[in-house]
Amino acid sequence: MYTALRGLSVGAGVSSSEHEQRFTAAMDDDFNTSGAIAVLFDLANEVNRLRAERNIDSALRAATSLKALGSQLGVLQRDPEVFLKGEARSKGAGLSDEQIDSLISQRLDARKNKNWQESDRIRDQLKATGVILEDGPKGTTWRRG
């Protein structure tokens, strides 16, 4: 769900939507958290679909609803970048954020020079430490898996 929120400036509030109605119905049904969480996953999928369709305004509205509904369960309240990079979980273990950024820079240089073997080696090294790379049109981002 944090991946769906990543890179979107999410505002406050919840729009009146089918998702909100389903979420409320689940919570009113003897605090059916599994049903409510299923709605959050559906909403995250919608954010991703709208983003892929380049319908950013609708994606922002859906992401705002996702975060607001998640807050009712005490989830999705951290900054997506901080959560996905696992800063709190990784203290004292694995690679630091700076080391990861350095390796990614080295990998990008290798790719630019068409040194695919070195690029793959760095990607595999990061993967072995639990770092997942995501290459996209705006560059490479990462998160801890």
Where exactly are the structural domains of the chain?
A: 2-77, 81-144
Q: What is the pLDDT of residue 87?
A: 55
Polymer length of the chain? 145
Burial 53-80 (b: 16+ CB within 10 A, else e): eeeeeebbbbbbbbbbbbeeeeebeeeb
Distance CA 107, CA 100 (A): 10
Q: What is the pLDDT of residue 90?
A: 45
Each residue of 25-83: pLDDT tens digit? 999 999 999 999 999 999 999 999 999 999 999 999 999 999 999 999 999 988 888 88
Contacting residues for 119 by C-beta, under 8 A, at least 6 apart: 107, 110, 111
* pTM of the complete model: 0.66
Q: Token digits for 63?
A: 């992401």
Confirm or reject CATH 3.30.450.20 for domain 2-77, answering yes or no.
no
Q: What is the pLDDT of residue 98?
A: 87
Q: Does an H or E element contain 116, and which?
A: helix 116-128
Each residue of 91-134: pLDDT tens digit? 435 788 888 999 999 999 999 999 999 999 999 999 888 898 98
135 φ/ψ angles, rounded to the nearest 5 degrees: -85, 130
Residue 13 and residue 64 in contact, taking contact as beta carbons nearer than 8 Å: yes
